[in-house]
């Protein structure tokens, strides 16, 4: 009977080499997962920031319409009302699947409006704030 003889050069990977590769892959996976979470949070913050910009544009439009209709510059409370909001009350905007919860609060001196984006579709990780100033 002839036996097969396998030389050392034809062998597979050693256990140490396989473990080293698995450790490197595990480290890469952990770094990639952490980066993904950071990117997701940044994207949500930016999306909420865009909603703040949209609310500023809405307030600018309401201010312009109010100015034309009244013949004089409306104060912040009048602009918030003309935009369809009750000052200090959270309201849902948009249509499903993109519903934003926003609060507009007229400043006490009548020269600014605080804009708070509270959530998107109930997800409270979509938050941003901003201020609109009466021109």
Average pLDDT, integer, range 97-112: 94
Structure tokens at 72: 């004089």
| pLDDT for residue 11 | 74
| pLDDT for residue 60 | 97
Structure tokens at 94: 């948009």
Average pLDDT, integer, range 108-116: 95
Confidence of residue 5 (pLDDT cuts 50, 70, 90): low
How far apart CA 127 and CA 31 sit, in angstroms, is 26
| pLDDT for residue 133 | 97
Structure tokens at 33: 């997962």
| pLDDT for residue 8 | 56
Q: With pLDDT > 90 as the criterion, what percentage of the chain qualifies?
A: 73
Supply the pTM of this predicted model: 0.74
| Each residue's pLDDT tens digit, 6-49 | 555 667 889 999 999 999 999 999 888 887 778 888 999 999 99
Domain range annotation of the chain: 13-133
Q: Report the chain's mean pLDDT, rounded to a whole number.
A: 90
Q: Is 112 exposed, middle or buried (0-12, 13-18, 19+ CB in 10 A)?
A: middle
Please indicate whether residue 43 or residue 4 has the higher confidence score (pLDDT): 43
């Amino acid at each position: 009977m002839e036996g097969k003889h396998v030389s050392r050069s034809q062998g597979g990977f050693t256990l140490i080499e396989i473990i080293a590769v698995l450790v490197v892959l595990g480290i890469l996976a952990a770094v990639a997962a952490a980066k993904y979470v950071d990117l997701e949070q940044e994207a949500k913050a930016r999306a909420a920031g865009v909603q703040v910009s949209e609310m500023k544009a809405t307030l600018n439009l309401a201010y312009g319409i109010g100015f034309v209709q009244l013949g004089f510059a409306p104060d912040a409370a009048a602009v918030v009302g003309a935009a369809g909001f009750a000052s200090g009350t959270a309201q849902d905007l948009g249509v499903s699947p993109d519903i934003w919860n926003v609060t507009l609060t007229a400043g006490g001196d009548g020269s600014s409006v605080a804009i708070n984006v509270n959530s998107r579709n109930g997800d409270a990780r979509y938050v941003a704030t901003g201020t609109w100033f009466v021109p």
